[in-house]
Amino acid sequence: MKKFISGVIVGALLFSGVTVFADSASLIGQKVQGLFTIEKNGKKVDDAIIINGTAYAPVRSVAEASGAKLTVEGKKIIMEDATTPTEKRSAELEAELDKTTAEIERITAGIKDLETNVIPPYEAMAKEMATNGDLGKRAQASADEYKKLVEQRKTELVFLKEKLAQIKTQLGE
């Protein structure tokens, strides 16, 4: 009886081992259902085959088309970005420089608009309606609020200009 149970256990282990192997090699012997063309910018890169609804393409062709670096180590295929960390860092800094410069320009334009087109009319209205009591006070209060907003924007501008200087320093290194 012990030999029979041992045989069943060994058989089960062997059978499950074959099943696992069959799963890892499931594409072997499968029927190719279709063929797709891989293109980049209108130029053919290579062909991909379709098996069970999934496209399989040559890794080297796809890597070269995407600009990735491809290396093979044993049974590993490793794809890495072709750009070096310094190039990435420079590109990130350039993007941050552009973003910060645009923000400085936007805030500067907003300050100029408030100082030339918004605050003076409210102050003029406040002077004209000073004898009208409540309307004159409201106009002056609005002008004062816009002046506070201008001061806040100028503070933001100082910080952004410092940030811009730091980015330019980092790019120079």
- pTM score above 0.75: no
As a whole number of angstroms, the distance between CA 78 and CA 92 comes to 24
As a whole number of angstroms, the distance between CA 21 and CA 12 comes to 14
> pLDDT tens digits for the chain (173 residues)?
555 554 545 454 445 444 444 444 577 888 888 888 888 788 887 887 888 778 777 877 777 777 777 788 888 888 777 655 566 678 888 999 999 999 999 999 999 999 999 999 989 888 888 787 788 888 889 999 999 999 999 999 999 999 999 988 888 86
54 strand-pairing partners: 51
For the chain, how many residues are written? Answer: 173
Closest CA to 114 of 157, 146, 151: 146
Q: What is the pLDDT of residue 37?
A: 84
Q: What is the pLDDT of residue 88?
A: 60
As a whole number of angstroms, the distance between CA 35 and CA 51 comes to 9
As a whole number of angstroms, the distance between CA 59 and CA 70 comes to 8
Structure letter (DSSP) for residue 30: P
